[in-house]
């Protein structure tokens, strides 16, 4: 909260508070442009990442905090660049719009996770009360810090940076699973070589139109006989497993197709009959695997998967030619 007050104080100074040459209409237009870019940024963020917020709630919760700190940083540095003030402030507004969307959506997902007795309203109310108490304490400390640092730029920057570091690194990496992403994969691609990420070789929900005529004949039609009883098709192209999902597939089907695709991705360079080997694993090992998950307390009835494209097809038995 003290960091927010320091950033807001810097923003007011940049807009022209205490400046005789500042005009009301100029400040109003700058504030309007700042809010407008924030709204547009929130809409675009929801459009591109809305389907991933449930599946990666903890990751986007951390991203929301990071973007909030970035937005406050933009407000703090805005007085240092008068010629680019509007641009810097709009960047900060966009960062905070990401924070608003991601934090609100992930809060709902995490509340649902902790509502073990279907008491989401109770959990949400208590979480809101805790947040209110924390905000009140932050407001009091923020007023104190703002009072002590007023007129001292170095003190303002020191308090902001120190609180930001504490805010972002209060949890040690050892408390997070080594196989779990806490930031979007684009931000940590430098470490991807150290991890065995089979899921990168699986494309869920591929469109039929993404295959050209030659690929349909070469890959899709040759793989179809292995999936006559399944509600999905797995197609291997250059070591990548493309998954075509049937339109009526449910959560159990999606879970099954994902692990089936992982098996194919693991064996794609080890076996020539990759579809046959994958089908054997599904027939003999998958049900055992599912039962072990259930015995350990996993709930597989509800599945979060960002599958957008689905397809419809029907199998027709080939008529044998009689001479």
Q: Are 12 and 78 in contact (CB under 8 A)?
A: no
Residue 7's pLDDT is what? 55
Q: Is 72 exposed, middle or buried (0-12, 13-18, 19+ CB in 10 A)?
A: buried
Same domain, yes or no, for 75 and 172?
yes
Looking at the fold, whether 179 and 208 belong to one and the same domain comes out as no
Judgement on whether residues 149 and 278 belong to the same structural domain of the protein: no
Is pLDDT of 320 > 50?
Answer: no
| Count of other CB atoms within 10 angstroms of residue 233 | 21
pLDDT at 193 over 80: no
pLDDT of residue 304: 65
In a domain? residue 257: yes
| Strand runs labelled E in the chain | 202-203, 232-237, 240-245
Whether residues 210 and 169 fall in one domain? no
Q: What residue numbers bound the domain in which 219 lies?
A: 199-295
In a domain, 311, yes or no: no
Looking at the predicted structure, is the pLDDT value of residue 12 above 80? no
Q: Indicate whether 174 and 266 sit together in one domain.
A: no
Instruction: Give me the number of domains the chain comprises.
Output: 2
Burial class of residue 127 in the structure, from the number of CB atoms within 10 Å of its CB (0-12 exposed, 13-18 middle, 19+ buried):
middle
Pair 40, 184: CB distance under 8 Å: no
Predicted confidence band of residue 43 (pLDDT cuts 50, 70, 90): very high
Look at residue 319 and tell me if it is in a domain: no
What's the whole-number mean pLDDT along residues 210-221? 72
Let me know whether 104 and 180 are in one domain: yes
């Amino acid at each position: 909260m003290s960091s927010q007050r320091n950033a807001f104080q810097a923003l007011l100074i940049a807009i022209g508070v205490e400046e005789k040459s500042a005009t009301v209409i100029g400040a109003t237009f700058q504030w309007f442009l700042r809010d407008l870019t924030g709204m547009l940024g929130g809409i675009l963020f929801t459009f591109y990442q809305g389907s991933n917020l449930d599946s990666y709630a903890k990751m986007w919760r951390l991203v929301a905090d990071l973007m909030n700190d970035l937005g406050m940083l933009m407000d703090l540095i805005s007085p240092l660049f008068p010629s680019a003030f509007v641009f810097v402030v709009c960047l900060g507004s966009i960062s905070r719009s990401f924070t608003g969307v991601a934090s609100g959506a992930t809060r709902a997902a995490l509340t649902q996770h902790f509502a073990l007795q279907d008491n989401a309203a109770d959990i949400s109310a208590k979480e809101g009360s805790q947040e209110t108490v924390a905000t009140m304490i932050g407001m009091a400390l923020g007023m104190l810090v703002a009072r002590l640092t007023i007129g001292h730029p170095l003190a303002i920057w020191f308090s902001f940076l120190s609180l930001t570091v504490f805010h972002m690194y209060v949890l040690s990496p050892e408390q997070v699973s080594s196989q779990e992403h806490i930031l979007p994969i684009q931000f940590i691609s430098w470490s991807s070589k150290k991890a065995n990420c089979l899921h990168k070789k699986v494309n869920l929900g591929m469109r039929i139109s993404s295959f050209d005529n030659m690929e349909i004949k070469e890959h899709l039609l040759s793989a179809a006989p292995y999936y006559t009883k399944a509600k999905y098709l797995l197609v291997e192209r250059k070591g990548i497993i493309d998954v075509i999902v049937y339109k009526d597939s449910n959560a159990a089907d999606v879970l099954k197709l994902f692990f089936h695709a992982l098996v194919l991705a693991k064996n794609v360079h080890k076996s020539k009959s990759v579809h046959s080997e994958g089908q054997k694993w599904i027939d003999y090992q998958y049900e055992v695997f599912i039962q072990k998950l259930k015995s350990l307390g996993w709930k597989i009835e509800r599945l979060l998967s960002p599958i957008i494209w689905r397809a419809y097809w029907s199998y027709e038995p080939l008529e044998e030619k009689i001479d």
